[in-house]
């Protein structure tokens, strides 16, 4: 066979494979949408004439305090994001702009957290929260993640690329360090903050183990934990209602993703390692 | 940076450290000190009531060596890593090549591949449970059409772990695809043109140009996939609870179980120390493979 014929064959096979994989990858979500919007009788029966309904969503919504879970998750992800922005900006600035005494050692110690994330140390961190009286609080869920090695790393990179002259100019006008960060660095690093924010929100919206351990009441449970409690308390294996609940918990992120696909993918690329 | 340390006046050093102080305190409190405390705790018995824990030396580790479930968790976790990491990487690269190429409907493909990254694992897991359900689950419906008999995928120790591996690969491949997409954009088009001039086949182009040039990305993704493989826990809790017969018990899940269901904190500390050692090993590997500064500079 000539190269061209093999290439054609190759292209045909890979294109088919691509579509098969895409279908496979989309299948769980497609199925969840099918089950959630049809009566329970059609959960395993794929009949195109099946009637559409929102009943599963209303039943899921009524069966568990999802409104409260939503509120908890929103408060949690926003709180973590704002905390990370503040704490990581300050640390990153110090490390990026000045060659600090012991700065390299400090940076290396910070990077340890990329590997040893708070969820690896659940036992000790739980004990620390107990001592601080933060068990079953949103603060307790968020606190270990606020000083994010990844955030410091990412912002330090960004700040390093900002010309020193702009910094000097601001200082000449009498700006303090904090004012310089606010007026010079934050505006220039905005795309990075957007990227970091999106990744942080997606990560903590979906985070499960740590909030599962720390929370034990409706008032503090985020959506992921609430969904698990809801699905594991016997629902009589009503797939339609569970699928509706699963879709509900993912919906805000999914819709945001569909609307801002490019920004999301760019953000994960920019801030990928979390 | 060319500035020499001595050039900064002392107050700059103080200011820099003060700016980093909140982060340092939090990192010490939730990463470094608990890491050290975990190792110290692993030499003590689990405290009973108000009495302080007794020093037991290596007893927890002897228990660990004699604990078949700990070995099973380690074995399962190694399998999880050895199988899902290469699979995720291979698929991620294939996806990136598809989406970066001139394929029909690439936007739809990219959407399909990336979506699992955004879905909460717990939500996805609950949907996947249905796929694996005996008798009327989707997988069994398909299999029956093909003439095979129905199978309890999550209930059979032989298939439960592979079933979780499938979910893990499904969740991760699209995320890693993004890194390959970026890497592919960096390949100079001149190289492909040169290959076309020489009439090189698709496979040859991939092997001689694409694969070597995306190598740094492959290493980077491999290390991250490896770390993730040792932290897999959401799908275990949501789908199998470690069962049947501990067939899907992974390290972090076992730590969670020993620590928070059996409340054997001393033993959980020893297990955590093992996990820390494994993660430390991966980071050593990372430095060996990539050189100190390639990705974290």
pLDDT in tens, chain B (297 residues): 444 445 677 888 888 899 999 999 999 999 999 999 999 989 988 888 777 788 888 888 998 899 999 999 999 999 999 999 999 999 999 999 999 887 888 889 999 999 998 899 999 998 998 888 887 788 888 888 887 877 888 888 999 999 999 999 999 999 899 889 888 888 888 888 888 888 877 888 888 888 988 888 898 889 889 999 999 999 999 999 887 989 999 999 999 999 999 998 889 999 999 999 999 898 888 777 765 444 443
Domains of chain B: 69-293 (1.10.3720.10)
- Output the domain CATH number for residue A132: 1.10.3720.10
Q: What is the CA radius of gyration of chain A?
A: 24
pLDDT in the model for residue A237: 63
Q: Between chains, do A147 and B234 touch, taking CB under 8 Å as contact?
A: no
The span from the CA of A260 to the CA of A4, in Å, is 39
Is A161 a member of any domain? yes
- Nearest residue to A100 via CA among B36, B8, B74, B77: B8
Is A165 a member of any domain? yes
Residue range A178-220, pLDDT digits in tens: 888 898 899 998 888 988 888 899 899 999 999 999 999 989 9
The span from the CA of B101 to the CA of B98, in Å, is 5
Q: Between chains, do B26 and A254 touch, taking CB under 8 Å as contact?
A: no
Residue of B nearest to A101 (CA): B13
Regarding predicted confidence, which is higher, A273 or A163?
A: A163
CB A210 within 8 A of CB A144: yes
Rounded to 5 degrees, φ, ψ at B55 are -70, 130
Give the ipTM. 0.87
The span from the CA of B66 to the CA of B17, in Å, is 47
Q: Average pLDDT, stretch A57-69?
A: 89
> Which H or E element spans position A171?
helix A164-172
Q: Average pLDDT, stretch A134-149?
A: 93
Band (pLDDT 50/70/90 cuts) for residue A68 is very high
Q: Between chains, do A231 and B95 touch, taking CB under 8 Å as contact?
A: no
Count CB pairs under 8 A between chains A and B: 278
Is A43 a member of any domain? no
Contacts of A250 in chain B (CB under 8 A): 118-120, 123
pLDDT in the model for residue A236: 61
Is A25 a member of any domain? no
Contacts of A113 in chain B (CB under 8 A): 27, 31
Rounded to 5 degrees, φ, ψ at B44 are -115, 155
Residue of B nearest to A46 (CA): B138
Whether residue A249 has a cis bond before it, omega within 30° of 0: no
Among candidates A99, A118, A268 on the partner chain, residue whose Cβ is nearest the Cβ of B178: A268
Its domain, for residue A172, covers 63-271
CB B35 within 8 A of CB B42: no
CB B290 within 8 A of CB B220: yes
- Per-residue pLDDT for A242 more than 80? yes
Q: To the nearest whole percent, how much of chain A has pLDDT over 70?
A: 95
CB-based contacts of B100, cutoff 8 Å, min separation 6:
B181, B184, B185
Q: Between chains, do B22 and A144 touch, taking CB under 8 Å as contact?
A: no
Is A76 a member of any domain? yes
Is A123 a member of any domain? yes
Q: Between chains, do B231 and A117 touch, taking CB under 8 Å as contact?
A: yes
Is A6 a member of any domain? no
- Nearest residue to B26 via CA among A90, A182, A69, A226: A90
Q: Which 222-261 residues of chain A touch chain B by CB within 8 A?
A: 223-225, 227-228, 231, 239, 242-243, 245-247, 249-250, 253-254, 257-258, 261
Among candidates B16, B23, B268 on the partner chain, residue whose Cβ is nearest the Cβ of A100: B16
pLDDT in the model for residue B229: 94
pTM here? Answer: 0.89
Q: Which 47-86 residues of chain A touch chain B by CB within 8 A?
A: none
Structure tokens at B289: 């493979």
The span from the CA of B62 to the CA of B58, in Å, is 6
- Nearest residue to A83 via CA among A34, A40, A143: A143
Is A32 a member of any domain? no
What is the b/e burial string over A165-185, where b = at least 16 CB atoms within 10 angstroms of the residue's CB?
Answer: eebeebeeeebebeebbeebb
Alpha carbon B104 to its chain's center: 32
Our count of domains for chain A comes to: 1
CB B137 within 8 A of CB B131: yes
CB B83 within 8 A of CB B168: no
* Residue of B4, B16, B37, B175 best to disrupt the A interface, most CBs of A under 10 A: B16
Q: Between chains, do B20 and A206 touch, taking CB under 8 Å as contact?
A: no
Lowest mean pLDDT among A38-47, A79-88, B17-26, B117-126: A38-47
pLDDT in the model for residue B295: 43
> Which H or E element spans position A262?
helix A261-270
Kindly state whether A28 is in contact with chain B, defined as any CB-CB distance less than 8 angstroms: yes
């Amino acid at each position: 066979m000539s190269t061209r014929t093999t290439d054609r064959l190759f292209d045909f096979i890979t294109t088919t494979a691509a579509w098969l994989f895409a279908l496979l990858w989309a299948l769980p979500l497609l199925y969840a949408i099918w089950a959630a919007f049809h009566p329970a009788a059609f959960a395993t029966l794929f009949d195109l004439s099946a009637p559409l309904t929102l009943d599963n969503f209303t039943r899921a919504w009524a069966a568990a305090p999802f409104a409260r879970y939503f509120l908890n998750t929103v408060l949690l992800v926003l709180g973590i994001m704002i905390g990370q922005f503040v704490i990581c900006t300050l640390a990153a600035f110090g490390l990026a702009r000045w060659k600090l005494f012991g700065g390299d050692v400090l940076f290396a110690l910070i990077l340890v957290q990329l590997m040893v994330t708070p969820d690896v140390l659940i036992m000790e961190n739980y004990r620390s929260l107990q001592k601080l009286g933060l068990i079953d609080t949103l603060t307790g869920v968020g606190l270990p993640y606020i000083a994010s090695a990844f955030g410091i790393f990412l912002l330090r990179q960004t700040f390093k690329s900002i010309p020193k002259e702009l910094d000097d100019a601001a200082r000449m006008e009498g700006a303090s360090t904090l004012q310089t960060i606010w007026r010079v660095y934050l505006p220039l690093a905005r795309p990075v903050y957007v990227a970091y924010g999106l990744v942080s929100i997606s990560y903590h919206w979906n985070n499960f183990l740590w909030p599962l351990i720390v929370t034990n009441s409706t008032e503090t449970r985020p959506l992921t934990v609430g969904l698990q409690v809801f699905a594991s308390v016997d629902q009589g294996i009503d797939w339609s209602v569970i699928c509706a609940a699963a879709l509900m918990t993912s919906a805000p992120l999914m819709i945001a993703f569909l609307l801002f696909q490019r920004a999301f993918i760019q953000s994960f690329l920019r801030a990928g390692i979390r | 940076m060319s500035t020499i340390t001595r050039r900064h006046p002392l107050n700059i050093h103080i200011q820099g450290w003060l700016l980093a102080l909140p982060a340092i305190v939090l990192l010490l409190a939730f990463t470094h000190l608990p890491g050290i405390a975990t190792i110290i705790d692993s030499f003590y018995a689990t405290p009973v009531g108000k009495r302080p824990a007794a020093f037991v030396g290596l007893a927890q580790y002897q228990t660990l060596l004699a604990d078949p479930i700990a070995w099973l968790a380690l074995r399962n976790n190694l399998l999880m890593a050895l199988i899902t990491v290469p699979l995720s990487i291979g698929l991620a690269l294939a996806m990136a090549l598809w989406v970066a190429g001139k394929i029909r409907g690439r936007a739809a493909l990219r959407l399909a591949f990336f979506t699992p990254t955004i879905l909460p694992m717990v939500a996805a897991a609950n949907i996947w449970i249905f796929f694996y359900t005996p008798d009327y689950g989707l997988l069994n419906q398909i299999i029956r059409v093909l003439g095979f008999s129905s199978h309890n995928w999550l209930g059979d120790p032989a298939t439960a772990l592979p079933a979780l591996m499938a979910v893990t690969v499904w969740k991760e491949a699209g995320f890693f695809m993004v890194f390959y997409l970026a890497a592919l954009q960096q390949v100079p088009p001149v190289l492909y043109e040169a290959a076309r001039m020489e009439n090189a086949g698709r496979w040859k182009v991939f092997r001689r140009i694409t694969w070597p040039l995306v190598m740094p990305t492959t290493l980077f993704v491999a290390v991250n996939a490896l770390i993730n493989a040792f932290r897999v826990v959401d799908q275990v809790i949501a789908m199998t609870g470690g069962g049947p017969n501990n067939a899907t018990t992974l390290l972090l899940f076992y730590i969670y179980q020993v620590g928070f269901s059996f409340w054997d904190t001393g033993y959980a500390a020893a297990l955590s120390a093992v996990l820390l050692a494994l993660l430390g090993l991966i980071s050593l590997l990372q430095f060996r493979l990539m050189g100190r500064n390639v990705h974290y500079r």
